[in-house]
A = this chain, B = another copy of it.
Amino acid sequence: MDSRKNGDGLLERTLRRFRRAWRGTNYGSPQTHFSLELSAGDIKQLRRQIDACLEARGGEVSARARAAHLGEAYLELNLQGRQRFLEVLAQDYGVDQEKLEASIAHYQNATDAKAQRAAESALRASLMAPRIRLLSLFNALDDGIKFLVDLRAELRHFARSDPELTTLDDELSAKLASWFDIGFLELQQITWDSPATLLEKLIEYEAVHAIDSWENLKKRLDSDRRLYAFFHPNMPDEPLIFVEVALVNGLADNVQHLLDGEAPTLEAEAADTAIFYSISNCQPGLAGISFGNTLIKRVARDLARDLPQLKNFATLSPLPGFRKWLDGQTNETLDPLIGTSDGIRLREQAGATDTVDALRTLLAKGDWPRDGATAKALEATIMPLATHYLINERGRAGAKDRVAHFHLSNGARIECINWLADTSERGLKTGAGLMINYRYVLKYVEENHEAYCSNGKITATSAVRKLLRG
């Protein structure tokens, strides 16, 4: 198992800061050292420590010191030991079922409104698992919130193969969601004047279009670019999510042009369009807690205030599920979606007898975007197919494509489908080189959102709809 991928690397870094932060804390009791993988004997001792911490004999300050103690012990374990540690929490420190049943009986037997109100409160209290009280103590420790976030990244990893950990993950996730409520987050613009400590994290966390050097990063913070991130006050050095914006004229239709380090810089005051071209979540431990919707709207609002001449706010987004969907189709499903003559031309160009085969053949050529005839034949068939995929194909929650679903549920509309817009290997492999402009027209955002969420209606420009065939 690659520990870096699973969040372990995060914790190693946290460990150092953690120890520095907690060094010299008087724990009131000597630190116990466990074996790396947490032996059966260690587990007994661990329970005693958890119990002491929860009984809080020594008052709140003491309880938090004991929590720090446990946190350090956790960090010193190897992966197997950590999994065992979490299993102890999952098995022994959940809701007390007897108490819960008693509370339920009490509630069911309440005879008047007042008694019922009291019973309801008691029932709620009995559903608060001790393990969550324990983990909550960490938020008063330096770097304690980051510890919990990184711990959840590990927990999620373990939970994939260990369903008993799922409830613990649900509870921790709910706790973190409450702490990371949008109201507590700060939106910050990040510039080339920001601390290098922070900038190097952008390089690390950028998940869409990798930043390959400090020069590249500088270009993305140039005067015609903007970069905004959300931060939590207890994790001031750690972005939660960030978005990269290019200020351009007209909707950008090609991401390689946008990322070209040699491209001339535009005057920000001369731009009419803000293109959101990359959004990256930074904390795997906050998976499932969504910030992107609010981030885009707040950034759009700030940009509109600072640069009042901006007329358009749109993304340049990938279409990550398209090729996978396309590869799963048959001639029966595809042929009605493409024009007859376009289909014929495609098959001729491929020297193939059916559409599925033709598409497979042509798309398999590594350099098809630079082969004029092939590209032309593909464009004529793929554009209507992609439009169909975007507008008509549905998944569980709405649009089949997850990026499309994200922006449509935010209230954006499909503005433009761009051919040969991302010719990187990944762009061709997942999206056939297509990229989409989702446009946020502030006064229609609510209406679009509601139409999509209530009735599944997808808003697209007529130019896009015209691409449909059949």
Cα(A445)–Cα(B62), bound, Å = 10
A123: interface (CB < 8 Å): yes
Within 8 A of B (CB), among A435-470: 445-446, 449-450, 453-454
Query: What's the minimum C-beta distance from A263 to chain B, rounded to whole angstroms?
Result: 18
Is A107 on the interface with B (CB-CB < 8 A)? Answer: yes
Q: Is A108 engaged at the interface, CB distance under 8 Å to the other chain?
A: yes
Q: Which residue of chain B is the closest to A90 with respect to CB atoms?
A: B117
Q: What B residues does A214 contact at CB under 8 A?
A: 196, 214
The stretch from A39-47, A140-148, A317-325, A350-358 touching chain B is A140-148
Contact between chains at B61 and A294 (CB < 8 Å) = yes
Q: Which of A162-170, A249-257, A373-381 contacts B (4 or more CB under 8 A)?
A: A162-170
Q: Would you call B181 and A293 a contact (CB within 8 A)?
A: no
Tell me, in angstroms, the Cα distance from A140 to B107 when the chains sit together.
34
Q: Interface size of A by Cβ–Cβ distance < 8 Å?
A: 64
Q: A400: CB under 8 A from chain B?
A: no
25 examples of A-B residue contacts, CB within 8 angstroms: A57-B450, A57-B453, A57-B454, A59-B293, A59-B409, A61-B294, A61-B297, A62-B446, A104-B104, A113-B164, A114-B163, A117-B167, A136-B181, A139-B184, A141-B183, A145-B183, A184-B184, A184-B233, A192-B195, A196-B196, A196-B214, A196-B218, A200-B218, A214-B214, A233-B233
Chain A residues within 8 Å of B, Cβ to Cβ:
28, 57-62, 95, 97, 100, 104, 107-108, 113-114, 116-117, 120-121, 123-124, 127, 136, 138-141, 144-145, 163-164, 166-167, 170, 178-179, 181-184, 192-197, 199-200, 214, 218, 233-234, 293-294, 297, 409-411, 445-446, 449-450, 453-454
